[in-house]
Structure 1
């Protein structure tokens, strides 16, 4: 695919932020409006590695929970927000995270369904947007497996699932953070069900996916995006063709977005972030690129915790400094102010008008 021409980012006035969504995004970012978010919601990658290290067929619940607690304890102090799953991490996040940390909660089950030639996302049993809101979450995260060439029925199921989540997030006034990952179709080389970046992915497939879910039907507030080319192939900063691809992704996203690491190496993810930040990304939401090397010490928890507090924390500080220097604050998408604060209606509206007028004035 030929590289599209870079287009300058523009303030997007068509996005309406209600007070709840605005406050949730503030909670997820630092004071400068940049997202430096730690992901510990991974389930199969951690569970599989834990079982392998123990020489067992299945991971132990206590082991997976202990690993996630250690990740948060060591690395959350360097994050603005943490992405946690309800099954293993959320209960410990309530006590490990500091009051100033944002809390993003994942909704999708790690066990996805199978269509004829496509993956089908679903919510974790007994979890919903409303439950995440009641649990104190500042945002809802969903991974929607998607491929533009998957069979029509699977594709429509994914679109419908995402739309329902977006509608629920609007109903409960909580930010919707959407992650999309391409995956190999049944006949593709490198077919796998692992949560990894597709080795042979096509740039046009990545960009088409972003364009599809940027439609207002899906109610996305923040995108969690993968590199438009395999992370290992991203050159050091300065390549014009690569920069143009990231700029096109920014244009198609049309709202705040962050980069995911998808298991990329630390060097590769560093390169990815340079291009993403230059294009307009507002930060990162990453896990394995930060802590995977330290995790390899499991089941020696002392060695793992030392590596998390040392090299892993140092790498995260490096990413934070890069974000401070180059990332675009999420508020930059609303250079003329936040619009769309709903006004109260009915008998109580008269006495509330003063409070809403003051709130709008502050924004």
Structure 2
């Protein structure tokens, strides 16, 4: 993979000194509001903004970068540690559940250029994708990603594509039935969006196997440990691009265990963009007791979560320096 000097410097700003991306994600919008609403009746925009500011201020000293959204996250971007890079999300949150295909959409009053002017080192775009969906729907998604990639290319700005798999025929991606399909879904979509036509610089992806359905890791299993290890290795070999893992809402401990499993399989993943696994349990004290309670949680448990994750990354993640020219 060839990187321009400008893109390489931007990626270096988002990575640690050895070329591993140890980034924090808090670009959640609707889902964060729902998390707060479980503990607090009236959740305001200011509540969401303030919580993001707290997470940024307290946790970016232990992260190589932070991912934020432009709707609520810009104040938090100004609170990040001076050594932490910045990614900004370009997509609208969620998708139209009444229309087929989980088609993506961009924030109407933003562009890649505006994101760059807001201080971002890179653009992040989230795409829900089912490799087995109707060809016409996937064609629209391919064109959409090409459009975003071309914008980033024109600005000489790194493009992070976040891929989230699903099955158009069933809604429960946590089911045993979907667990059987997930390796195929994840690996094939990585192959598709590694093609040069999309101008993707870094893939942000799921792990290929739900750890709860691996023999020895959950009560019920779909794959033996050997089969699961093979899928992790196959995923790693499916792309020449740097790729990082998303946490997918699991606990901090489960995510760390997953990364160790990936390393055991021989995966050459290049870091993480870790969201809820790091900070989600800090939402409750914030919503119930306010800023001071949340800050105390972030300074203790939140910090411990990140420090533990960083220790795991030291022995599991590979440098993206080895994948680029």
Same fold (TM > 0.5): yes
Q: 1:287: Cα distance to partner?
A: 0.8
Q: Structure 1 residue aligned with 2:201, among 218, 221, 224?
A: 221
The answer to whether 1:248 aligns with 2:234 is yes
In 2, the alpha carbon distance for the partners of 1:115 and 1:16 equals 41
The answer to whether 1:324 aligns with 2:307 is no
Partner of 2:73: 89
2:285 alignment partner, SS class: coil
Q: Structure 1 residue aligned with 2:160, among 177, 181, 206?
A: 177
Q: Structure 1 residue aligned with 2:244, among 258, 269, 272?
A: 258
Q: 1:325: Cα distance to partner?
A: 2.0
Q: Structure 1 residue aligned with 2:110, among 108, 118, 127?
A: 127
In 1, the alpha carbon distance for the partners of 2:316 and 2:255 equals 15
Q: 1:93: Cα distance to partner?
A: 1.1
Partner of 1:65: 49
Matches within 5 A, 1:27-66: 27-56=13-42, 59-66=43-50
Distance 1:204 1:184, change over 3 A: closer
In 2, the alpha carbon distance for the partners of 1:272 and 1:119 equals 27
The answer to whether 1:232 aligns with 2:212 is yes
The answer to whether 1:188 aligns with 2:170 is yes
2:131 alignment partner, SS class: coil
Q: 1:198: Cα distance to partner?
A: 7.2
In 1, the alpha carbon distance for the partners of 2:56 and 2:44 equals 19
Matches within 5 A, 1:194-205: 200-201=178-179, 202=181, 203-205=183-185
Distance 1:91 1:282, change over 3 A: same
The answer to whether 1:161 aligns with 2:144 is yes
Distance 1:162 1:29, change over 3 A: same
In 2, the alpha carbon distance for the partners of 1:283 and 1:48 equals 28
Distance 1:60 1:198, change over 3 A: farther
Distance 1:198 1:284, change over 3 A: farther
1:80-124 Cα offsets, whole Å, 9 max, x none, are 000010011123312x11222100111011042468531111111
The answer to whether 1:292 aligns with 2:280 is yes
1:223 alignment partner, SS class: strand
The CA RMSD over aligned residues, in Å, is: 2.0
Q: Would you say how many aligned residue pairs link Structure 1 and Structure 2?
A: 311
Partner of 1:306: 296
Matches within 5 A, 1:101-112: 101-112=84-95
1:119 alignment partner, SS class: coil
Does the 8 A contact of 1:103 with 1:139 survive in 2?
yes
1:142 alignment partner, SS class: strand
Unaligned ranges ≥5, structure 1: 1-14, 192-196, 339-363
2:38 alignment partner, SS class: helix
Q: 1:291: Cα distance to partner?
A: 0.9
In 1, the alpha carbon distance for the partners of 2:102 and 2:297 equals 35
More displaced 10-residue stretch of structure 1: 150-159 or 137-146: 150-159
Higher-Rg member (1/2): 1
Calculate the TM-score normalised by the size of structure 2. 0.90
Does the 8 A contact of 2:61 with 2:83 survive in 1?
no
Calculate the TM-score normalised by the size of structure 1. 0.81
More displaced 10-residue stretch of structure 1: 289-298 or 159-168: 289-298
Partner of 2:221: none
Does the 8 A contact of 1:139 with 1:176 survive in 2?
yes
Unaligned ranges ≥5, structure 2: 218-223
The answer to whether 1:80 aligns with 2:80 is no
Does the 8 A contact of 1:242 with 1:275 survive in 2?
no
Does the 8 A contact of 2:49 with 2:75 survive in 1?
no
